[in-house]
Amino acid sequence: METLLQQFSEAMADVTQEVRASVVQITDGRGSIGAGTIWHSDGLIVTNAHVVAGRSAWGDARGERQRRSLHVILPDGRQLPVRVLALDEAYDLAALSVEADNLPVIEPGDSTAVRPGQWVMALGHPWGVRDALTAGVVIGIGAQLPEMQPGREWIALNLRLRPGHSGGPLIDTNGRLIGVNTMISGPEVGFAVPSHRVMAFLKSALGDNGQAQEKPHPLSEPQVV
């Protein structure tokens, strides 16, 4: 009979193994710049706006060059060019599309039912280390967290997010997707955008069915050519 601690440890490894097929790397042609989460089997990928925009302001020449060189590396090793469908600077979200289908997605969870104290896991590629896991508990949820500007909803996390976790999935103990890892506040505290906010972003940017190929959000004002 395994001890409870052994069972706990095995269960964490099992859940991690299940979801890692849906975690992608995002590169700018030179190296890994963050993680992404496969949101739809037809090639829709969600990451953070700051991952794809880099340090350059969105729309300037450097940003444009960087966007052109953006690629996604799937867990099976395929490297595919990326089309940026939509950005939401306020929630730091980006919707990307790659030419692929039958991609594995993470079962969606209910991020409105997240409770303080519940156990959660975050995946990403901190410092370029593939599919690294960090685990901990939910500190709190909502739009009134002490460290954050009020008005935007977050999940505050007591775990060790690092650069490179950005854009990766936050999952519950059933391996269900409840958020997108986004921000760090000190070594032990991180923030994720709850998945219901991601859904709202995708719905407003891409339409009701969230299909990547439909109604791409304009990225700049129309130009006369």
Where on the chain is the footprint of another protein (CB under 8 A)?
4, 7-8, 10-12, 14-15, 115-120, 136-142, 144-147, 156, 158, 172-175, 186, 188-189
User: Which lies closer to another protein via its Cβ, residue 8 or residue 127?
Assistant: 8
Catalytic residue from among 92, 97, 165, 196: 92
User: Which lies closer to another protein via its Cβ, residue 34 or residue 109?
Assistant: 109
Q: What are the residues facing 80 on neighbouring strands?
A: 72
Give the nearest distance from C-beta 158 to another protein in angstroms: 4
Give the nearest distance from C-beta 191 to another protein in angstroms: 12
Neighbour order of strands in the sheet with 79-81: 79-81, 71-73, 23-27, 32-40, 44-47, 93-97, 83-88
Is 50 assigned a catalytic role?
Answer: yes
Is 92 assigned a catalytic role?
Answer: yes
Catalytic residue from among 22, 32, 50, 172: 50
Is 217 assigned a catalytic role?
Answer: no
User: Which lies closer to another protein via its Cβ, residue 63 or residue 140?
Assistant: 140
User: Which lies closer to another protein via its Cβ, residue 29 or residue 116?
Assistant: 116
Catalytic residue from among 22, 111, 166, 195: 166
Q: Which residues are catalytic, by number?
A: 50, 92, 166
